Homo-oligomer: A and B are copies of this chain.
Amino acid sequence: MASQAEENYLKALLHLSSEKEAINVSALSTLLKVSKPTANSMIKNLKEQGYVHYEKYKPLLLTDAGRKAAALVVRKHRLTEMYLVEKMGFGWEEVHEIAEQVEHVKAPVFFDRMDELLEHPTEDPHGSPIPDKDGNILQRHYMSLSKCQAGDRVRLAALKNSSKDFLEFLDKRGLNLGVSVQVETVEPFDGSVVICYQEKRESLSAQVCNQLMVEYE
């Protein structure tokens, strides 16, 4: 079974490959906060195990087995986050660090039980999809709030970024997933947007709008 380090690398590789098909070692080492030689040597190890395609100086690519293994780690991570929020009462900004550790528990039944108790959730507390038991990830195609126009009525469905700072920013404004939002104005100059929701009116910078994924109601 994969070690904690291996599981973390697999997750990072899957994450990077979702933004750009081919992955480079630098991005991996930056994301995981390890040196490039460290990442390089782990890549050789993962190649040995059949999880990545790799040739010297060429970009990295997850194999099918690698993608599946990675998705199953993501599944454990997101089930844990959902469990922590729904069953233990944690805030969505607290759960990532805990899940980062709990995801490595070697006891499939533990995660299966979370899945059951949560009644097979399909998204985590930040709106990201929870891969199924075969490692398939149902990609939702939400739209960024920054693509909306004045007058649009949308529901906040997911976050592109789930950093603690951002989550706390949203908490302060009562911007939770599921909230229905009316786009009032879009400022052409800087892309900032004024929205109305739950009797509130807020102006959000383009940077924030980019991170907010919405769908039409």
Instruction: Find the residue from A88, A89, A102 having the highest chain B CB count within 10 A.
Output: A88
Write out the residue numbers on chain B whose beta carbons fall within 8 Å of the beta carbon of A114.
Answer: 88
CB pair B98 A105 closer than 8 Å: yes
- 9 A–B contact pairs at CB < 8 A? A88-B113, A88-B117, A94-B109, A98-B107, A98-B109, A98-B110, A101-B105, A101-B107, A102-B105
**Interface size bucket, A side?**
10 to 19
A-side residues, CB < 8 A to B, are 87-90, 94, 97-98, 101-102, 105-107, 109-110, 113-114, 117
CB pair B89 A113 closer than 8 Å: yes
Expressed in whole angstroms, the Cα–Cα distance for A106 and B113 within the complex equals 22
Q: Which of B101, B105, B106, B107 contacts A106 (CB 8 A)?
A: B101
Write out the residue numbers on chain B whose beta carbons fall within 8 Å of the beta carbon of A101.
Answer: 105-107
Write out the residue numbers on chain B whose beta carbons fall within 8 Å of the beta carbon of A98.
Answer: 105, 107, 109-110
Expressed in whole angstroms, the Cα–Cα distance for A185 and B89 within the complex equals 51
Nearest-Cβ distance from residue A185 to partner chain B, whole angstroms:
41
Beta-carbon nearest neighbor of A117 in chain B:
B88
Given known A105-B102, A107-B101, contact A87–B87 (CB-CB < 8 A):
yes
CB pair A113 B90 closer than 8 Å: yes
Write out the residue numbers on chain B whose beta carbons fall within 8 Å of the beta carbon of A89.
Answer: 113, 117
Nearest-Cβ distance from residue A54 to partner chain B, whole angstroms:
30
Nearest-Cβ distance from residue A90 to partner chain B, whole angstroms:
7
Expressed in whole angstroms, the Cα–Cα distance for A107 and B81 within the complex equals 14
Write out the residue numbers on chain B whose beta carbons fall within 8 Å of the beta carbon of A88.
Answer: 113-114, 117
Expressed in whole angstroms, the Cα–Cα distance for A117 and B105 within the complex equals 22
Expressed in whole angstroms, the Cα–Cα distance for A25 and B113 within the complex equals 39
Expressed in whole angstroms, the Cα–Cα distance for A90 and B101 within the complex equals 21
Expressed in whole angstroms, the Cα–Cα distance for A94 and B108 within the complex equals 12
Expressed in whole angstroms, the Cα–Cα distance for A110 and B85 within the complex equals 12
Nearest-Cβ distance from residue A2 to partner chain B, whole angstroms:
14
